Structure 1
Protein backbone atom coordinates (compact mmCIF):
# COMPACT_ATOMS: atom_id res chain seq x y z
CA UNK A 1 0.00 0.00 0.00
CA UNK A 2 1.13 3.56 -0.74
CA UNK A 3 0.99 6.31 1.87
CA UNK A 4 -2.32 7.45 0.38
CA UNK A 5 -3.79 3.94 0.57
CA UNK A 6 -2.49 3.49 4.11
CA UNK A 7 -4.01 6.81 5.15
CA UNK A 8 -7.34 5.74 3.69
CA UNK A 9 -7.20 2.42 5.56
CA UNK A 10 -6.70 4.26 8.87
CA UNK A 11 -9.39 6.81 8.06
CA UNK A 12 -11.91 4.05 7.29
CA UNK A 13 -10.86 2.26 10.47
CA UNK A 14 -11.58 5.39 12.48
CA UNK A 15 -14.78 6.46 10.76
CA UNK A 16 -16.40 3.10 9.92
CA UNK A 17 -15.00 0.04 11.70
CA UNK A 18 -14.60 1.54 15.18
CA UNK A 19 -17.56 3.92 14.92
CA UNK A 20 -19.85 3.35 17.87
CA UNK A 21 -17.50 0.72 19.30
CA UNK A 22 -14.41 2.61 20.50
CA UNK A 23 -14.41 6.43 20.57
CA UNK A 24 -10.69 6.42 21.42
CA UNK A 25 -9.85 4.46 18.28
CA UNK A 26 -12.15 6.65 16.20
CA UNK A 27 -9.92 9.58 17.14
CA UNK A 28 -6.67 7.66 16.77
CA UNK A 29 -7.52 6.24 13.34
CA UNK A 30 -8.20 9.70 11.91
CA UNK A 31 -5.11 11.18 13.60
CA UNK A 32 -2.84 8.56 12.05
CA UNK A 33 -4.43 9.16 8.65
CA UNK A 34 -3.58 12.85 9.00
CA UNK A 35 0.04 12.33 10.09
CA UNK A 36 2.38 12.35 7.09
CA UNK A 37 5.35 11.51 9.32
CA UNK A 38 3.78 8.43 10.91
CA UNK A 39 2.42 7.28 7.55
CA UNK A 40 5.96 7.46 6.16
CA UNK A 41 7.16 5.15 8.96
CA UNK A 42 4.28 2.74 8.33
CA UNK A 43 4.88 2.55 4.58
CA UNK A 44 8.46 1.47 5.28
CA UNK A 45 7.08 -1.68 6.96
CA UNK A 46 6.07 -4.84 5.06
CA UNK A 47 2.50 -4.41 3.72
CA UNK A 48 0.97 -6.92 6.14
CA UNK A 49 2.43 -4.95 9.07
CA UNK A 50 0.78 -1.61 8.22
CA UNK A 51 -2.73 -2.50 9.39
CA UNK A 52 -4.45 -0.32 12.03
CA UNK A 53 -5.13 -3.05 14.58
CA UNK A 54 -1.45 -4.02 14.66
CA UNK A 55 -0.07 -0.50 15.17
CA UNK A 56 -2.66 0.37 17.79
CA UNK A 57 -2.16 -2.88 19.69
CA UNK A 58 1.62 -2.39 19.65
CA UNK A 59 1.30 1.03 21.27
CA UNK A 60 -1.10 -0.34 23.89
CA UNK A 61 1.22 -3.30 24.53
CA UNK A 62 3.95 -0.74 25.32
CA UNK A 63 1.56 1.24 27.56
CA UNK A 64 1.39 4.19 25.17
CA UNK A 65 -1.55 6.66 25.22
CA UNK A 66 -4.67 6.02 23.14
CA UNK A 67 -7.23 8.47 24.54
CA UNK A 68 -6.00 11.34 22.34
CA UNK A 69 -5.18 11.04 18.65
CA UNK A 70 -2.51 13.74 18.94
CA UNK A 71 -0.91 12.10 21.97
CA UNK A 72 -0.97 8.71 20.25
CA UNK A 73 0.81 9.98 17.14
CA UNK A 74 3.39 11.91 19.15
CA UNK A 75 4.16 8.95 21.40
CA UNK A 76 4.37 6.48 18.52
CA UNK A 77 6.85 8.73 16.68
CA UNK A 78 8.95 9.32 19.81
CA UNK A 79 9.11 5.57 20.55
CA UNK A 80 9.09 4.32 16.97
CA UNK A 81 11.93 1.80 17.28
CA UNK A 82 10.12 0.07 20.16
CA UNK A 83 6.80 0.22 18.35
CA UNK A 84 8.36 -1.11 15.16
CA UNK A 85 9.96 -4.03 17.00
CA UNK A 86 6.63 -5.07 18.54
CA UNK A 87 4.87 -4.79 15.18
CA UNK A 88 7.47 -6.95 13.44
CA UNK A 89 7.39 -9.58 16.20
CA UNK A 90 3.61 -9.90 16.42
CA UNK A 91 0.51 -10.30 14.28
CA UNK A 92 -3.17 -9.44 14.57
CA UNK A 93 -4.65 -12.66 15.93
CA UNK A 94 -8.05 -13.98 17.01
CA UNK A 95 -8.97 -12.82 20.49
CA UNK A 96 -12.76 -12.85 20.41
CA UNK A 97 -14.68 -15.85 21.74
CA UNK A 98 -17.86 -13.83 21.13
CA UNK A 99 -17.62 -14.75 17.45
CA UNK A 100 -18.75 -18.23 18.41
CA UNK A 101 -22.28 -16.80 18.73
CA UNK A 102 -22.36 -16.22 14.98
CA UNK A 103 -20.90 -19.65 14.23
CA UNK A 104 -23.14 -21.61 16.62
CA UNK A 105 -26.30 -21.83 14.45
CA UNK A 106 -24.28 -23.43 11.65
CA UNK A 107 -22.23 -25.68 13.92
CA UNK A 108 -25.33 -26.99 15.70
CA UNK A 109 -27.08 -27.77 12.39
CA UNK A 110 -24.27 -29.88 10.91
CA UNK A 111 -24.14 -33.67 11.30
CA UNK A 112 -22.78 -34.42 14.75
CA UNK A 113 -20.25 -35.00 16.25
CA UNK A 114 -17.83 -32.37 14.96
CA UNK A 115 -14.09 -32.26 14.45
CA UNK A 116 -13.35 -28.52 14.56
CA UNK A 117 -10.40 -27.14 12.59
CA UNK A 118 -9.68 -23.41 12.77
CA UNK A 119 -7.27 -21.69 10.40
CA UNK A 120 -5.61 -18.68 11.96
CA UNK A 121 -6.39 -20.18 15.36
CA UNK A 122 -4.13 -17.98 17.51
CA UNK A 123 -4.71 -19.25 21.09
CA UNK A 124 -7.64 -21.43 19.98
CA UNK A 125 -10.35 -19.48 21.83
CA UNK A 126 -12.95 -20.07 19.11
CA UNK A 127 -12.36 -23.81 19.22
CA UNK A 128 -14.46 -24.15 22.40
CA UNK A 129 -18.00 -23.16 21.29
CA UNK A 130 -19.49 -25.96 23.39
CA UNK A 131 -17.76 -24.60 26.51
CA UNK A 132 -19.48 -21.19 26.39
CA UNK A 133 -22.91 -19.75 27.13
CA UNK A 134 -24.98 -17.72 24.63
CA UNK A 135 -27.69 -15.11 24.76
CA UNK A 136 -29.42 -14.03 21.55
CA UNK A 137 -31.44 -10.82 21.82
CA UNK A 138 -33.54 -11.00 25.01
CA UNK A 139 -33.76 -14.78 25.28
CA UNK A 140 -32.42 -16.57 28.37
CA UNK A 141 -28.77 -17.59 28.17
CA UNK A 142 -28.05 -21.24 27.42
CA UNK A 143 -25.05 -23.46 26.85
CA UNK A 144 -22.36 -24.74 29.20
CA UNK A 145 -23.95 -24.16 32.60
CA UNK A 146 -20.82 -23.26 34.57
CA UNK A 147 -19.02 -21.36 31.83
CA UNK A 148 -17.46 -17.99 32.75
CA UNK A 149 -18.00 -16.90 29.12
CA UNK A 150 -21.31 -15.56 27.82
CA UNK A 151 -21.46 -14.43 24.18
CA UNK A 152 -24.23 -11.87 23.59
CA UNK A 153 -25.55 -11.39 20.05
CA UNK A 154 -28.28 -9.18 18.54
CA UNK A 155 -30.05 -10.75 15.56
CA UNK A 156 -32.35 -10.06 12.64
CA UNK A 157 -33.88 -12.43 10.12
CA UNK A 158 -34.77 -16.14 10.39
CA UNK A 159 -31.76 -17.27 12.41
CA UNK A 160 -31.90 -21.07 12.91
CA UNK A 161 -31.27 -20.81 16.63
CA UNK A 162 -29.89 -24.01 18.14
CA UNK A 163 -32.06 -25.59 20.81
CA UNK A 164 -30.55 -25.11 24.29
CA UNK A 165 -30.32 -28.89 24.61
CA UNK A 166 -28.69 -29.33 21.19
CA UNK A 167 -25.30 -27.74 21.51
CA UNK A 168 -22.55 -28.89 19.12
CA UNK A 169 -20.89 -32.17 20.09
CA UNK A 170 -17.18 -31.53 19.64
CA UNK A 171 -14.89 -34.57 19.67
CA UNK A 172 -11.68 -32.92 18.48
CA UNK A 173 -10.24 -29.42 18.28
CA UNK A 174 -7.35 -28.53 16.00
CA UNK A 175 -5.98 -25.47 14.32
CA UNK A 176 -3.12 -23.93 12.42
CA UNK A 177 -1.40 -20.58 12.87
CA UNK A 178 1.85 -19.01 11.75
CA UNK A 179 2.46 -18.08 15.38
CA UNK A 180 0.32 -20.13 17.79
CA UNK A 181 -0.28 -18.47 21.15
CA UNK A 182 -0.37 -20.24 24.50
CA UNK A 183 -3.39 -19.38 26.69
CA UNK A 184 -1.24 -20.10 29.76
CA UNK A 185 1.58 -17.73 28.73
CA UNK A 186 1.33 -14.32 30.43
CA UNK A 187 2.99 -12.41 27.59
CA UNK A 188 0.77 -14.06 24.96
CA UNK A 189 -2.27 -13.12 27.06
CA UNK A 190 -0.99 -9.54 27.34
CA UNK A 191 -0.71 -9.31 23.56
CA UNK A 192 -4.26 -10.59 23.08
CA UNK A 193 -5.52 -8.07 25.64
CA UNK A 194 -3.72 -5.30 23.75
CA UNK A 195 -5.80 -6.20 20.67
CA UNK A 196 -9.07 -5.45 22.47
CA UNK A 197 -10.23 -1.94 21.59
CA UNK A 198 -10.23 0.68 24.38
CA UNK A 199 -13.58 1.15 26.08
CA UNK A 200 -14.70 -2.42 25.45
CA UNK A 201 -14.52 -3.77 28.99
CA UNK A 202 -17.06 -6.52 28.23
CA UNK A 203 -14.82 -7.85 25.46
CA UNK A 204 -11.79 -7.70 27.73
CA UNK A 205 -13.60 -9.59 30.50
CA UNK A 206 -14.80 -12.20 27.97
CA UNK A 207 -11.26 -12.63 26.62
CA UNK A 208 -9.86 -13.24 30.08
CA UNK A 209 -12.64 -15.72 30.84
CA UNK A 210 -12.07 -17.54 27.53
CA UNK A 211 -8.36 -17.79 28.28
CA UNK A 212 -9.30 -19.44 31.58
CA UNK A 213 -11.51 -21.95 29.73
CA UNK A 214 -8.69 -22.77 27.29
CA UNK A 215 -6.11 -23.09 30.08
CA UNK A 216 -8.27 -25.48 32.12
CA UNK A 217 -9.64 -27.64 29.27
CA UNK A 218 -8.78 -31.32 30.05
CA UNK A 219 -8.11 -32.01 26.37
CA UNK A 220 -6.89 -28.68 24.95
CA UNK A 221 -6.95 -27.85 21.28
CA UNK A 222 -4.00 -29.00 19.17
CA UNK A 223 -2.69 -26.02 17.23
CA UNK A 224 0.13 -26.61 14.78
CA UNK A 225 2.54 -23.99 13.51
CA UNK A 226 2.63 -23.31 9.80
CA UNK A 227 1.01 -21.95 6.67
CA UNK A 228 -2.68 -22.81 6.45
CA UNK A 229 -2.43 -23.95 2.83
CA UNK A 230 0.43 -26.30 3.70
CA UNK A 231 -1.18 -27.83 6.80
CA UNK A 232 -4.93 -27.90 6.17
CA UNK A 233 -5.08 -31.23 4.32
CA UNK A 234 -3.32 -33.11 7.13
CA UNK A 235 -5.59 -31.56 9.75
CA UNK A 236 -8.70 -32.62 7.82
CA UNK A 237 -7.23 -36.10 7.35
CA UNK A 238 -6.59 -36.30 11.10
CA UNK A 239 -10.23 -35.83 12.07
CA UNK A 240 -11.62 -38.80 14.04
CA UNK A 241 -13.59 -41.34 12.01
CA UNK A 242 -17.33 -40.79 12.28
CA UNK A 243 -16.96 -37.06 12.97
CA UNK A 244 -17.79 -34.21 10.57
CA UNK A 245 -14.61 -32.20 9.86
CA UNK A 246 -15.48 -28.48 9.97
CA UNK A 247 -12.90 -25.97 8.78
CA UNK A 248 -13.71 -22.42 9.88
CA UNK A 249 -12.10 -19.00 10.05
CA UNK A 250 -12.97 -15.38 10.89
CA UNK A 251 -11.06 -12.34 9.61
CA UNK A 252 -8.06 -14.43 8.57
CA UNK A 253 -7.95 -14.65 4.78
CA UNK A 254 -7.75 -10.87 4.47
CA UNK A 255 -4.10 -11.18 5.51
CA UNK A 256 -3.31 -13.57 2.65
CA UNK A 257 -2.37 -12.52 -0.89
CA UNK A 258 -5.05 -13.25 -3.52
CA UNK A 259 -3.26 -16.33 -4.89
CA UNK A 260 -3.11 -17.89 -1.40
CA UNK A 261 -6.81 -17.21 -0.90
CA UNK A 262 -7.60 -18.90 -4.21
CA UNK A 263 -5.51 -21.93 -3.22
CA UNK A 264 -7.37 -22.18 0.07
CA UNK A 265 -10.84 -21.93 -1.46
CA UNK A 266 -9.87 -24.59 -4.00
CA UNK A 267 -8.82 -26.85 -1.14
CA UNK A 268 -12.14 -26.25 0.61
CA UNK A 269 -13.99 -27.44 -2.49
CA UNK A 270 -11.83 -30.55 -2.82
CA UNK A 271 -11.23 -31.71 0.77
CA UNK A 272 -13.81 -33.94 2.56
CA UNK A 273 -14.96 -31.29 5.04
CA UNK A 274 -17.56 -28.61 5.68
CA UNK A 275 -16.39 -25.02 5.39
CA UNK A 276 -17.55 -22.03 7.45
CA UNK A 277 -16.08 -18.69 6.41
CA UNK A 278 -16.65 -15.39 8.19
CA UNK A 279 -14.70 -12.74 6.29
CA UNK A 280 -15.07 -9.10 5.33
CA UNK A 281 -16.54 -8.11 1.95
CA UNK A 282 -14.07 -8.23 -0.96
CA UNK A 283 -11.99 -10.98 0.67
CA UNK A 284 -13.77 -13.85 -1.10
CA UNK A 285 -15.26 -12.44 -4.34
CA UNK A 286 -16.98 -15.70 -5.27
CA UNK A 287 -19.00 -15.50 -2.03
CA UNK A 288 -19.66 -11.78 -2.46
CA UNK A 289 -21.14 -12.53 -5.89
CA UNK A 290 -23.82 -14.71 -4.25
CA UNK A 291 -24.98 -12.08 -1.72
CA UNK A 292 -28.72 -11.39 -1.87
CA UNK A 293 -28.05 -7.69 -1.12
CA UNK A 294 -25.03 -5.36 -0.94
CA UNK A 295 -22.99 -5.40 2.24
CA UNK A 296 -23.48 -2.38 4.54
CA UNK A 297 -20.87 0.34 4.13
CA UNK A 298 -21.67 2.40 7.22
CA UNK A 299 -20.32 -0.20 9.66
CA UNK A 300 -17.86 -3.05 9.72
CA UNK A 301 -19.36 -6.42 8.78
CA UNK A 302 -18.26 -9.91 7.86
CA UNK A 303 -20.04 -12.33 5.54
CA UNK A 304 -20.90 -15.67 7.12
CA UNK A 305 -21.02 -18.51 4.61
CA UNK A 306 -21.39 -22.29 4.67
CA UNK A 307 -19.60 -24.20 1.91
CA UNK A 308 -19.31 -20.99 -0.10
CA UNK A 309 -22.99 -19.98 0.21
CA UNK A 310 -23.56 -16.73 2.17
CA UNK A 311 -26.11 -16.98 4.96
CA UNK A 312 -25.72 -13.78 7.01
CA UNK A 313 -23.89 -10.57 7.76
CA UNK A 314 -22.13 -10.64 11.12
CA UNK A 315 -20.57 -8.10 13.45
CA UNK A 316 -16.75 -8.24 13.51
CA UNK A 317 -16.71 -9.35 17.14
CA UNK A 318 -19.81 -11.55 17.09
CA UNK A 319 -22.11 -8.85 18.40
CA UNK A 320 -24.57 -9.02 15.46
CA UNK A 321 -26.05 -11.73 13.26
CA UNK A 322 -28.26 -10.58 10.37
CA UNK A 323 -29.59 -13.74 8.70
CA UNK A 324 -30.68 -13.65 5.06
CA UNK A 325 -34.29 -14.56 4.33
CA UNK A 326 -33.14 -16.74 1.42
CA UNK A 327 -30.48 -18.64 3.39
CA UNK A 328 -30.92 -22.35 3.74
Structure 2
Protein backbone atom coordinates (compact mmCIF):
# COMPACT_ATOMS: atom_id res chain seq x y z
CA UNK A 1 0.00 0.00 0.00
CA UNK A 2 1.44 3.38 -1.05
CA UNK A 3 2.13 5.90 1.69
CA UNK A 4 -0.01 9.04 1.24
CA UNK A 5 1.47 12.43 2.23
CA UNK A 6 -0.81 14.04 4.84
CA UNK A 7 -0.38 17.69 5.82
CA UNK A 8 -1.63 19.18 9.09
CA UNK A 9 -1.77 22.97 8.71
CA UNK A 10 -2.61 24.86 11.91
CA UNK A 11 -0.85 27.63 13.81
CA UNK A 12 -1.63 25.93 17.13
CA UNK A 13 0.78 23.29 18.47
CA UNK A 14 -2.09 22.05 20.61
CA UNK A 15 -4.45 21.64 17.65
CA UNK A 16 -1.84 19.75 15.64
CA UNK A 17 -1.21 17.43 18.58
CA UNK A 18 -4.95 16.80 18.98
CA UNK A 19 -5.23 15.87 15.30
CA UNK A 20 -2.22 13.54 15.47
CA UNK A 21 -3.82 11.81 18.45
CA UNK A 22 -7.13 11.46 16.62
CA UNK A 23 -5.76 9.88 13.42
CA UNK A 24 -7.05 6.31 13.07
CA UNK A 25 -4.75 3.35 13.65
CA UNK A 26 -3.09 1.80 10.61
CA UNK A 27 -3.44 4.87 8.41
CA UNK A 28 -0.86 4.65 5.61
CA UNK A 29 0.37 8.24 5.67
CA UNK A 30 3.51 10.29 6.12
CA UNK A 31 2.73 13.39 8.18
CA UNK A 32 4.04 16.91 7.59
CA UNK A 33 3.12 19.85 9.81
CA UNK A 34 2.85 23.54 8.87
CA UNK A 35 2.24 26.39 11.33
CA UNK A 36 0.61 28.85 8.94
CA UNK A 37 -1.14 28.94 5.59
CA UNK A 38 1.87 30.17 3.62
CA UNK A 39 4.04 27.26 4.76
CA UNK A 40 1.13 24.90 4.23
CA UNK A 41 0.66 26.04 0.64
CA UNK A 42 4.38 25.58 -0.02
CA UNK A 43 4.16 22.03 1.36
CA UNK A 44 1.22 21.24 -0.93
CA UNK A 45 3.13 22.61 -3.93
CA UNK A 46 6.02 20.32 -2.97
CA UNK A 47 3.81 17.24 -2.94
CA UNK A 48 3.59 16.91 0.85
CA UNK A 49 -0.16 17.36 1.08
CA UNK A 50 -2.16 14.94 -1.01
CA UNK A 51 -4.63 15.16 1.88
CA UNK A 52 -4.70 18.29 4.08
CA UNK A 53 -6.18 19.00 7.50
CA UNK A 54 -6.56 22.78 7.35
CA UNK A 55 -7.33 25.40 9.98
CA UNK A 56 -9.05 28.64 8.97
CA UNK A 57 -7.77 31.29 11.39
CA UNK A 58 -4.00 31.50 10.93
CA UNK A 59 -1.30 34.18 10.58
CA UNK A 60 0.30 35.20 7.25
CA UNK A 61 -2.25 33.28 5.17
CA UNK A 62 -5.58 31.98 6.45
CA UNK A 63 -7.41 28.83 5.42
CA UNK A 64 -9.74 30.62 3.01
CA UNK A 65 -6.73 32.04 1.16
CA UNK A 66 -5.09 28.60 1.03
CA UNK A 67 -8.23 27.05 -0.46
CA UNK A 68 -8.50 29.86 -3.02
CA UNK A 69 -4.83 29.40 -4.00
CA UNK A 70 -5.28 25.62 -4.34
CA UNK A 71 -8.17 26.20 -6.73
CA UNK A 72 -6.41 28.97 -8.68
CA UNK A 73 -3.22 26.93 -9.12
CA UNK A 74 -5.04 23.68 -9.85
CA UNK A 75 -3.17 21.80 -7.10
CA UNK A 76 -4.12 18.15 -6.66
CA UNK A 77 -5.12 17.79 -3.03
CA UNK A 78 -8.13 16.96 -0.89
CA UNK A 79 -8.80 19.30 2.01
CA UNK A 80 -10.59 18.66 5.28
CA UNK A 81 -11.14 21.93 7.14
CA UNK A 82 -10.83 21.57 10.92
CA UNK A 83 -11.79 24.87 12.55
CA UNK A 84 -13.09 26.57 15.66
CA UNK A 85 -15.05 28.93 13.41
CA UNK A 86 -18.33 27.04 13.24
CA UNK A 87 -20.49 29.73 11.67
CA UNK A 88 -22.87 28.32 9.06
CA UNK A 89 -21.45 30.79 6.55
CA UNK A 90 -17.88 29.60 7.27
CA UNK A 91 -18.91 26.02 6.46
CA UNK A 92 -20.68 27.15 3.29
CA UNK A 93 -17.68 29.17 2.11
CA UNK A 94 -15.07 26.45 2.58
CA UNK A 95 -17.20 23.85 0.80
CA UNK A 96 -17.78 26.32 -2.04
CA UNK A 97 -13.99 26.76 -2.27
CA UNK A 98 -13.56 23.03 -2.76
CA UNK A 99 -13.06 21.54 0.69
CA UNK A 100 -14.10 17.90 0.96
CA UNK A 101 -15.41 18.17 4.52
CA UNK A 102 -15.67 20.48 7.53
CA UNK A 103 -15.02 19.36 11.11
CA UNK A 104 -15.38 21.51 14.20
CA UNK A 105 -12.58 21.72 16.75
CA UNK A 106 -11.61 19.75 18.69
CA UNK A 107 -11.98 17.08 16.00
CA UNK A 108 -13.89 13.96 17.01
CA UNK A 109 -11.86 10.83 16.14
CA UNK A 110 -14.79 9.02 14.53
CA UNK A 111 -15.80 12.04 12.43
CA UNK A 112 -12.17 12.49 11.38
CA UNK A 113 -11.98 8.82 10.35
CA UNK A 114 -15.09 9.23 8.17
CA UNK A 115 -13.78 12.44 6.59
CA UNK A 116 -10.45 10.78 5.80
CA UNK A 117 -12.42 7.93 4.23
CA UNK A 118 -14.03 10.48 1.90
CA UNK A 119 -10.49 11.35 0.81
CA UNK A 120 -9.62 7.70 0.17
CA UNK A 121 -7.70 7.14 3.41
CA UNK A 122 -8.85 4.17 5.47
CA UNK A 123 -7.04 2.86 8.55
CA UNK A 124 -6.86 -0.75 9.70
CA UNK A 125 -8.89 0.00 12.81
CA UNK A 126 -11.15 2.65 14.26
CA UNK A 127 -9.03 3.43 17.34
CA UNK A 128 -6.88 6.58 17.26
CA UNK A 129 -3.20 5.78 16.75
CA UNK A 130 -1.62 8.77 18.47
CA UNK A 131 1.09 8.84 15.76
CA UNK A 132 3.98 11.00 17.04
CA UNK A 133 1.80 13.23 19.20
CA UNK A 134 3.49 12.08 22.41
CA UNK A 135 6.74 13.68 21.21
CA UNK A 136 5.20 17.15 20.95
CA UNK A 137 5.76 19.43 23.93
CA UNK A 138 2.81 21.70 24.62
CA UNK A 139 3.05 24.58 27.08
CA UNK A 140 0.21 26.21 28.96
CA UNK A 141 -0.12 29.16 26.59
CA UNK A 142 -0.47 26.82 23.60
CA UNK A 143 -3.16 24.76 25.29
CA UNK A 144 -5.07 27.71 26.70
CA UNK A 145 -4.94 29.71 23.44
CA UNK A 146 -6.46 26.77 21.56
CA UNK A 147 -9.17 26.46 24.21
CA UNK A 148 -9.93 30.17 23.74
CA UNK A 149 -9.91 29.75 19.95
CA UNK A 150 -12.66 27.13 20.12
CA UNK A 151 -14.65 29.19 22.64
CA UNK A 152 -14.55 32.42 20.65
CA UNK A 153 -15.66 30.53 17.54
CA UNK A 154 -18.75 29.23 19.29
CA UNK A 155 -19.59 32.70 20.57
CA UNK A 156 -19.18 34.15 17.08
CA UNK A 157 -21.45 31.46 15.60
CA UNK A 158 -24.20 32.39 18.04
CA UNK A 159 -23.82 36.11 17.34
CA UNK A 160 -23.80 35.45 13.57
CA UNK A 161 -27.06 33.52 13.86
CA UNK A 162 -28.78 36.15 16.00
CA UNK A 163 -27.76 39.10 13.80
CA UNK A 164 -27.68 37.24 10.45
CA UNK A 165 -24.11 38.39 9.75
CA UNK A 166 -20.65 36.91 9.22
CA UNK A 167 -18.27 37.56 12.11
CA UNK A 168 -14.59 37.93 11.25
CA UNK A 169 -12.50 36.05 13.79
CA UNK A 170 -9.04 37.17 14.93
CA UNK A 171 -6.10 35.30 16.40
CA UNK A 172 -6.70 35.51 20.17
CA UNK A 173 -3.98 37.04 22.34
CA UNK A 174 -3.18 35.30 25.65
CA UNK A 175 -0.72 36.86 28.08
CA UNK A 176 0.02 37.23 31.79
CA UNK A 177 0.05 40.99 32.34
CA UNK A 178 0.92 43.37 35.16
CA UNK A 179 -1.49 46.25 35.69
CA UNK A 180 0.70 48.65 33.68
CA UNK A 181 0.84 46.23 30.75
CA UNK A 182 -2.91 45.73 30.98
CA UNK A 183 -3.35 49.49 30.74
CA UNK A 184 -1.33 49.52 27.51
CA UNK A 185 -3.26 46.57 26.09
CA UNK A 186 -6.59 48.26 26.78
CA UNK A 187 -5.36 51.57 25.40
CA UNK A 188 -4.32 49.79 22.21
CA UNK A 189 -7.75 48.14 21.99
CA UNK A 190 -9.35 51.58 22.16
CA UNK A 191 -7.38 52.79 19.11
CA UNK A 192 -8.21 56.41 19.80
CA UNK A 193 -11.97 55.91 19.90
CA UNK A 194 -14.42 56.55 22.66
CA UNK A 195 -16.14 53.44 23.88
CA UNK A 196 -18.67 51.92 26.20
CA UNK A 197 -17.64 48.93 28.28
CA UNK A 198 -19.70 46.17 29.84
CA UNK A 199 -18.21 44.27 32.77
CA UNK A 200 -19.36 40.86 34.01
CA UNK A 201 -17.77 38.74 36.72
CA UNK A 202 -17.52 34.95 36.56
CA UNK A 203 -16.41 32.11 38.82
CA UNK A 204 -16.26 28.31 38.67
CA UNK A 205 -14.29 25.78 40.72
CA UNK A 206 -11.78 28.34 41.94
CA UNK A 207 -11.34 29.93 38.51
CA UNK A 208 -12.56 33.52 38.61
CA UNK A 209 -12.24 36.80 36.81
CA UNK A 210 -14.00 39.53 34.94
CA UNK A 211 -15.06 39.79 31.34
CA UNK A 212 -14.79 43.23 29.78
CA UNK A 213 -16.62 43.82 26.51
CA UNK A 214 -15.70 47.14 24.89
CA UNK A 215 -17.89 48.58 22.15
CA UNK A 216 -16.54 51.41 20.03
CA UNK A 217 -19.01 54.26 19.92
CA UNK A 218 -18.65 54.47 16.13
CA UNK A 219 -20.26 51.00 15.92
CA UNK A 220 -23.40 51.83 17.88
CA UNK A 221 -25.70 53.05 15.11
CA UNK A 222 -24.84 50.15 12.79
CA UNK A 223 -25.30 47.64 15.61
CA UNK A 224 -28.68 49.14 16.49
CA UNK A 225 -29.81 48.77 12.86
CA UNK A 226 -28.80 45.09 12.85
CA UNK A 227 -30.80 44.56 16.03
CA UNK A 228 -33.69 46.58 14.56
CA UNK A 229 -33.61 49.08 17.37
CA UNK A 230 -33.71 52.85 17.28
CA UNK A 231 -30.35 54.37 18.11
CA UNK A 232 -31.39 56.19 21.28
CA UNK A 233 -29.45 56.69 24.48
CA UNK A 234 -32.22 54.97 26.45
CA UNK A 235 -32.03 51.78 24.39
CA UNK A 236 -28.26 51.72 23.85
CA UNK A 237 -27.31 50.34 27.27
CA UNK A 238 -30.00 47.67 27.09
CA UNK A 239 -28.80 46.63 23.63
CA UNK A 240 -25.19 46.34 24.78
CA UNK A 241 -26.14 44.43 27.92
CA UNK A 242 -28.05 41.92 25.79
CA UNK A 243 -25.13 41.51 23.40
CA UNK A 244 -22.57 41.18 26.17
CA UNK A 245 -24.63 38.53 27.96
CA UNK A 246 -24.81 36.57 24.71
CA UNK A 247 -21.11 36.86 23.80
CA UNK A 248 -19.59 36.48 27.26
CA UNK A 249 -21.96 33.69 28.21
CA UNK A 250 -21.29 31.72 24.99
CA UNK A 251 -17.53 32.17 25.24
CA UNK A 252 -17.33 31.05 28.88
CA UNK A 253 -19.73 28.19 28.22
CA UNK A 254 -17.53 26.97 25.37
CA UNK A 255 -14.46 27.21 27.55
CA UNK A 256 -16.21 25.47 30.44
CA UNK A 257 -17.21 22.52 28.25
CA UNK A 258 -13.58 21.96 27.29
CA UNK A 259 -12.12 22.13 30.81
CA UNK A 260 -15.14 20.62 32.59
CA UNK A 261 -16.07 23.72 34.59
CA UNK A 262 -19.46 25.36 34.95
CA UNK A 263 -19.11 29.11 35.29
CA UNK A 264 -21.55 31.26 37.24
CA UNK A 265 -21.86 34.81 35.92
CA UNK A 266 -22.81 37.97 37.76
CA UNK A 267 -25.24 40.44 36.26
CA UNK A 268 -23.51 42.50 33.52
CA UNK A 269 -22.95 46.15 34.32
CA UNK A 270 -22.24 49.20 32.20
CA UNK A 271 -18.75 50.18 33.30
CA UNK A 272 -18.50 53.42 31.39
CA UNK A 273 -20.39 55.18 28.63
CA UNK A 274 -18.56 57.30 26.07
CA UNK A 275 -15.52 57.03 28.37
CA UNK A 276 -11.88 56.95 27.47
CA UNK A 277 -9.94 53.91 28.56
CA UNK A 278 -7.92 55.92 31.11
CA UNK A 279 -11.14 56.62 33.01
CA UNK A 280 -12.08 52.94 33.01
CA UNK A 281 -8.65 51.93 34.32
CA UNK A 282 -8.76 54.50 37.14
CA UNK A 283 -12.20 53.26 38.13
CA UNK A 284 -11.13 49.60 38.31
CA UNK A 285 -7.38 49.69 38.90
CA UNK A 286 -7.72 47.89 42.26
CA UNK A 287 -9.28 44.86 40.54
CA UNK A 288 -6.44 44.22 38.10
CA UNK A 289 -2.99 43.59 39.57
CA UNK A 290 -1.45 40.68 37.73
CA UNK A 291 -3.88 38.90 35.44
CA UNK A 292 -4.07 36.23 32.78
CA UNK A 293 -5.54 38.30 29.97
CA UNK A 294 -7.32 37.00 26.89
CA UNK A 295 -8.02 39.53 24.14
CA UNK A 296 -10.38 38.84 21.24
CA UNK A 297 -11.13 41.58 18.69
CA UNK A 298 -14.30 40.84 16.73
CA UNK A 299 -15.46 42.57 13.54
CA UNK A 300 -18.65 42.14 11.53
CA UNK A 301 -18.15 41.74 7.80
CA UNK A 302 -19.74 44.48 5.71
CA UNK A 303 -20.48 46.70 8.72
CA UNK A 304 -18.59 49.30 10.71
CA UNK A 305 -18.83 47.19 13.85
CA UNK A 306 -15.83 46.39 16.02
CA UNK A 307 -15.68 45.28 19.63
CA UNK A 308 -13.10 43.78 21.94
CA UNK A 309 -13.68 41.04 24.48
CA UNK A 310 -11.19 40.69 27.31
CA UNK A 311 -11.29 37.86 29.80
CA UNK A 312 -9.25 38.82 32.85
CA UNK A 313 -8.51 35.83 35.07
CA UNK A 314 -7.27 36.41 38.62
CA UNK A 315 -3.69 35.48 39.45
CA UNK A 316 -4.92 32.70 41.76
CA UNK A 317 -6.87 31.11 38.86
CA UNK A 318 -3.71 30.30 36.93
CA UNK A 319 -2.78 27.16 38.88
CA UNK A 320 -6.34 25.80 38.59
CA UNK A 321 -6.38 26.41 34.83
CA UNK A 322 -3.01 24.70 34.45
CA UNK A 323 -4.37 21.68 36.29
CA UNK A 324 -7.48 21.58 34.12
CA UNK A 325 -5.42 21.73 30.92
CA UNK A 326 -2.71 19.28 32.03
CA UNK A 327 -4.33 16.38 30.16
CA UNK A 328 -4.14 18.38 26.93
CA UNK A 329 -0.47 19.24 27.39
CA UNK A 330 0.68 15.68 28.16
| TM-score bin (small chain) | under 0.3
TM-score, reference length from structure 1: 0.25
Relative to its length, the structure with more strand (as a share) is: 2
The higher radius of gyration belongs to 2
